[in-house]
Amino acid sequence: MALSGIQTGIHYPIPCHLQPAFSDLDYQMGDFPHSETLAKQILSLPMYPGLTSSQVKEVVAVIASIVSKQQDKLLHI
């Protein structure tokens, strides 16, 4: 996505149960494995009030291209 000029980010790389604000609950790594996995995988895409329809279409086109390329790779294994 970065090569296409579309900024992405991982806004919540630490799951809620491991945040310092919740340290008094005494949760440890491994207590919520699904949340921990998703925190490493979920990607934040551009989303703000000034995003134009053409910019949304561009983001969708880039995502569709990436998914298509990944599917092609899987089909050739």
Q: Which CATH number goes with the domain that contains 59?
A: 3.90.1150.10
What is the mean predicted confidence (pLDDT) over 29-39?
Answer: 94
Count of structural domains within the chain: 1
pLDDT band for position 61 (50/70/90)?
very high
Q: Which domain holds residue 29?
A: 2-75
b (16+ CB within 10 A) / e for 32-63? beeeeeebeeeeeeeeeeeeeeeeeebbeebe
What is the mean predicted confidence (pLDDT) over 62-75?
Answer: 83
* Higher-scoring residue by pLDDT: 69, 1: 69
Q: How many CB atoms lie within 10 A of CB 70?
A: 10
Report the pLDDT value the prediction gives residue 1, as an integer from 0 to 100.
66
